[in-house]
Chains A and B, each alone.
Chain A
Amino acid sequence: MLKEIQQVFADDFSSNSSEFLKYIGGGGCEEMSSCSPAPKFIGLDAIQGLEIYRESIIAGLARSLTEIYPVCVKLIGLESFSLLAYRYSENYPSSSPSLINYGQKFSAFLNSIPQMGVALPYFPDVAALELLVHNAYYASSGSDIDLFRFNQLTPSKQSKVVFDLTPSFGLVSSEFPIKHIWEVSQDGADDEIVSLDEGADFLAVHRFGNEVRIESLSAELYLFLGEMCKGLTLSEALSSVLNEFNEFDFQASIQLALDKGFIYGFHVQN
C-alpha cells in the first residue's frame, strides 16, 4: 500500500492528475474506528488537503529559484519571476535531497520560451551567469598548483599536460553585456542604464577565498579555457585556439589563468 500511495502521488505530479485522491478522506478521525471519542466535526476535505501539499511543493521549489537567481528576480520583478519559476517547478522535478542543487536547467528552460528571444533576449544568459555564481559559492576550494613540478617536465611532456581547473570555475558567454547587467543589479549599485549595444561578454566565474569573482576574458582565452574544461591536453587546446585566432598569446594566457587562480593542478596524459 505504501509503495502504491507514493508512486501514485509521484505519477500525479508528472501527469497533473488526481488519482491520489482515492487514498485520502476528509477530516481527522472520521475513517478511524479506533478513534475515541469521536470528533464533533470534520476538518479539511481530501481535495483541499491535497491542494495544500501541491501548492506548497511547487511554491517551495519556486522560492528556491528566487534565492538562486536574485538578479533575474530584480530584472523582471518578483511577480513575473514567480510565474516563470512556477512553470519551471511544475516541469522540472528535483532529483536531489538538497534544494541547493535545484534549478540547474533554468537558463535552458528560459531559452525554450519562444517570446523570450524578442522580449528579453539577454535574460537566459544572465540566468546562466547567476547559476555559475551560485555553484561557485558552494564549490570546494582548489589547492595551489605545483609549478615547480610543472617546470621540471620536458617540453614533450608539457604538451601532454591536462590542467585541472579550480572546482568553482565556470565559463559563460553572451552577445549581451551580462556582466554589466549583473553588476548594476547588485544591492547598493548605482542606478545605471546598461546599453545592450555594449557588446558581447566572455566570462569566467570562480571563487577566490570566500569571494565569487566574475572575470572578463578575451574571446581567444575563453575558447582556450573552454577546451581545457573539456579535458584536452595543452597542445590540443592550443591547436584548437590557433585554428581560430592565429595571434593567440599562449604564454600570456597561461600566466593570466595562473594569476587568477583558475588552474589548481595538472596531470600528464599518457
Chain B
Amino acid sequence: MSISGKSSFKKSKIQGVGIGLRSCHYQSIIQHKPRIPWFEVISDNYMIEGGPELNYLESIRNDYPIVMHGVGMSVGSVDDLNMDYLGKLRSLKERFEPAWISDHLCWVSADKRYFHDLLPLPYTQESIDHVAKRVQRVQNVLGERILLENVSNYMTYKANEMTEWEFLSNVAEAADCNILLDINNVYVSSYNHKFDPFLYLNEIPVNRVKQFHLAGYQDKGLYLFDSHSEKVKPPVWDLYEFAVTKFGSIPTLIEWDDDIPSLSDLLTEANKASKIIWK
C-alpha cells in the first residue's frame, strides 16, 4: 500500500452523535460541510492502493474528526493474525489519525477463508484467553488500546460457560481493551436468545465503554436481524436511554449500511440520539 507519512490534522475530541461515513455522501459532505461532530470510517474500505476514495477521506478528514471501525481483524479466529491487514491499519492510523480504532469480538475467517460475517465465539475461558492474547498483539502493533464491539447473535454454543455480557466484560479485562457497546446488537441478541437486555447493560463495566452504536434491525418474525437498513426501533431507543443513564454521554454512532438514506435523514436520526445524550 502506498499510503504513508505523518499527517497534521487538528486534534478534536470525539463527542456527541456521529454518523458512519459512506461514499454516497462524500460530495454532499465536502460541498456543504454539514454540522456533524465526527464520522466513523470503515477502515477496511480504505485499505487500498490508491484512488479517489483516499482523496475523499483526506478531504473530509481535514474538516472532521474520525474514528476507525473495522470488520476484518478477526480477533477470534484461530488463523494467524493477518499482519498485512494490521500493517495497513497502522498506515491508515498514521495517515488519518483517528481518535480510536475498533473492531468486533468475533471471528470472520477460518482456514484462511474469509466469511465476511461476524461469527460469534463460544463464551468460554479458552476463547477469552485466545482473544486477549491476540488483542494484546494488535494493540502492540497499533500502539494504542482498541475497542471491541459486541456482535448480534443468532446461535448458541453448547460449550458456553458464561453469559455474553460476562464474556464481553472478561475479554475487555483480560485484553485490557475498551468496549464499543452496540445497543441494537444487545437488543437483537436479547430477543433472539430471550435474555434481559437491561441486565446485560447493567453487568458491563462502566470504565471500559467508550462508544455506542445505534442501528435499525429487521423483524423477521421468528427472530430479529441486525440489518443496518432501517431507523432505530423504539425498544432500542429505550435501551439507549438506559445505557446513557448508566454509562454517561458516551459518543454515539448512527450506523446505516444498506438502503442508505439521504444525509439529512441520517442527521434527523442523529439529532434524536443527541436529545437523549444531552438531556
Residue B53 at the A interface, CB < 8 A? yes
Q: Are A5 and B52 in contact (CB under 8 A)?
A: no
CB neighbours (8 Å) of A64 from chain B are 116
Q: Are A61 and B116 in contact (CB under 8 A)?
A: yes
Cross-interface CB contact of A32 among B108, B110, B162, cutoff 8 Å: B162
Residue B72 at the A interface, CB < 8 A? yes
CB neighbours (8 Å) of B112 from chain A are 95
Cross-interface CB contact of B222 among A9, A26, A48, A50, cutoff 8 Å: A48
CB neighbours (8 Å) of A138 from chain B are 48-51, 53
Cross-interface CB contact of B154 among A44, A60, A100, cutoff 8 Å: A44
In the complex where A52-B154, A57-B117, A167-B49 touch, is A43 in contact with B194 (Cβ < 8 A)? yes
Of the listed stretches B121-129, B175-183, B242-250, chain A binds B121-129
Distance, CA A166 to CA B44, complexed state (A): 24
Distance, CA A34 to CA B85, complexed state (A): 38
Q: Are A167 and B154 in contact (CB under 8 A)?
A: no
Q: Are B117 and A27 in contact (CB under 8 A)?
A: no
Question: Would you list 6 pairs from A and B whose C-beta atoms are within 8 A, ordered by A residue?
Answer: A5-B157, A27-B193, A42-B194, A43-B223, A50-B155, A61-B116
B residues lining the A interface (CB < 8 Å)? 1-2, 44-45, 47-53, 55, 72-74, 76-78, 82, 85, 107-117, 119, 121-122, 124, 126-127, 130, 154-163, 166, 191-195, 222-223, 225
15 other A-B residue contacts (CB within 8 Å) besides A35-B195, A40-B194, A95-B112: A6-B111, A10-B110, A13-B113, A13-B115, A26-B156, A27-B156, A27-B194, A32-B162, A44-B193, A48-B154, A52-B225, A57-B115, A61-B116, A99-B116, A140-B1
A residues lining the B interface (CB < 8 Å)? 1-3, 5-7, 9-11, 13, 23-32, 34-35, 39-44, 46, 48-50, 52-53, 56-57, 60-61, 64, 93-100, 102, 137-141, 167-168, 207, 210
